[in-house]
Amino acid sequence: MSRAGGGGDVYNSPTAHGDHSIAANDIRNVIIRWVMHPSARWLPLLLACAAVVAAGARWPDGPARQYVLWGVLTGLSLLAAAARVLDRRPRDALVIGVLSLVSVLATVGGWLTFQQVVAHGEIDVTGQVRTEGRQPLDEEAHRTLTLRLDAPALAEPRDALRLTLAIADHDPAGPTCLPDTRATLSLLTSGAAAQPTDVRPGGTADFSLGARAGAVRIGVRLHTARGCRMDVRATGAVLHDK
């Protein structure tokens, strides 16, 4: 690759030959001139910042781990763009070109990653799970509990729900029943299979939601030892795409 220099034809490679080489050199010269232009110095940083602001405005929440790649790419784009701004040496065309390119590519990659999270990422709806039915639950009364997610929680379409269930002794001062307790969870939403799943206290069940439904209902049936009375609640509810 040629070294950047002062005059207009300095960018031409001394080893280039033929029409194609001349055309390629012309294109490269145009790019390098554009990259080196004082007005282009701030462009990658502005682009990266705009992407960050746009992402912040549309932030869909959900677990932090799904934003790791976006975070890395955004950080890279901002760093490269900042380095591009700070590098004021007029002869560093190669370095400046690489920094600009890395920043722009990282910004674009970050934006695409963010769009992927927006469209298919996990959505934490734990706070929107409503519990219907009387507690505590026991084995003898054959009572069930229903966990319900209403339409507002399901605004973003996802095809599965991961539910984490906490089961605790109703009276923590009494004998504990946790080792003998489990629950069967079944999807009660019409149009989807029940998918009965046994979970231990603190366990997780994953349900395919199928077609988009107005609300999701999950029945909880407790299995425990004689005389045990337990409280059940959802400690995690995450919509996701399988």
Partner 1 sequence: MTTGAARAPHGRRRARRHRALAAAALATLAASAAACGTSEPPSLFASGKVSVGAKNDQPGTGVVHTYKFSGFDITVARQILASVGAEPDFGIVPSEDRSAVLTGKKKDLVVATFSITVDRMKELDFAGPYASTYQGILVRRNDHRIRKPDDLFGKRVCTWPGTTSATTLEGPEYSRIAVYERPDASSCLADLKVKKVADAVSTDQMILYGFTQENPDLRVVPDLTYGSANHYGIAMNKGHRKDCLRLRDALREYVGSNTWSHDFSTSLWSIPKADPTWETDYRPREETIDALSCRDRPSA
* Among 114, 88, 85, 113, CA closest to 100: 85
Distance (Å, whole) CA 234 – CA 236: 6
- Based on CB atoms, which residue is closest to partner 1, 41 or 229? 229
CB 179, min distance to partner 1, A:
4
For residue 200, the minimal CB distance to partner 1 (Å) is 4
Residue 178 within binding range of partner 1, rule CB under 8 A: yes
Single-letter amino acid, residue 219 = G
**Is 206 a binder of partner 1 (CB under 8 A)?**
no
x/- contact string, 207-236, with partner 1 (CB under 8 A)?
A: ------------------xxxxx-------
| Binding of partner 1 by 163 (CB under 8 A) | no
Q: Which two tokens stand for residue 130?
A: 């409503």
180 lies in the binding site for partner 1 (CB under 8 A)? yes
203 alpha-carbon distance from chain centroid:
23
Strands, sheet with 197-199, edge to edge from the N-terminal-most edge strand: 130-132, 144-149, 216-223, 182-187, 197-199
Residue 177 as a binder of partner 1 (CB under 8 A): the answer is yes
Candidates 109, 203, 210, 236; binder of partner 1 (CB under 8 A) is 203
Q: Is 142 in the site for partner 1 (CB under 8 A)?
A: no
Q: Assign 207 to helix, strand or coil.
A: strand
